[in-house]
Structure 1
Amino acid sequence: MNLTGGIVLFASLWFLTLFVVLPFGQRSQADAGNVVAGTHAGAPSDMGQWRRKLLITTLVTAAIWGVIAFVILGDYITRDDISQLDHLIR
């Protein structure tokens, strides 16, 4: 894995993790009982948790990326192993 591949992998994992983390702890305006006129009742009621969610996303992504980088750079799984996976199925 080169530098560009590592950055692309981190960015992909980061956005995937962000979309997983976003719904946790989210309360809608209907749940909070304070629907702002002109907005949907399912819209988020409190946007103050963004920094915390972004930090959690970055930490979780760094851990996942670290494990994947360790496996790739440690040659535990190589391209040859991946190219021979179809022989296991046949």
Structure 2
Amino acid sequence: MSDLPERDGDGYLLSMDKWTPEVGQAMAEADGVNLSAEQWAQIDKAREFYEEHAVVPPIRKFAKYINVDQKELFKMWQTGPMKPITKYGGLPKPTGCV
């Protein structure tokens, strides 16, 4: 799948409804990111949280939501975890602490 939906300067989808798991995978590949099954599970949980609350969770709340230590999330993603989780999950950009 080479035709990615339009993305903004940070690589986020301009239109959330263009997201599918395949689009998320293609976006990660285009960015040179290889997502593990565990990372995909977190992306799914973030989408679930967003559907329930209509907001991207802050990292502390998300870590508690998925019952994973915040430090582990940072280690696994090697960056502020909410950025790639929301980007490849087709969610809006997180605000505040990421």
**TM-score w.r.t. length of structure 1:** 0.26
Report the structure number with the largest CA radius of gyration: 1
**TM-score w.r.t. length of structure 2:** 0.24
